Structure 1
Amino acid sequence: MRPEGVSVTGLGQKVIEFIEVEVTCDVSRVKPAADIYWRKGPDGPLQTGTTSSGLNQDGKTFHLQSTYNVSFSRNDRNTKLYCLVTRHGNETDVWATAYQTISVACEYQYVT
Structure 2
Amino acid sequence: MIYVELKAQNLRNKYEHHPVIEPIIVYCNQNKISFEFLKEIVHFPYGIKSFNTTNVYYMKIGNNLLISRNKVCGWNSLLELITFAYEHLGIQKPDRLTQVLNSFKNREQQANI
TM-score scaled to structure 2, two decimals? 0.27
TM-score, scaled relative to structure 1: 0.27
Structure in which a larger fraction of residues adopt helix? 2
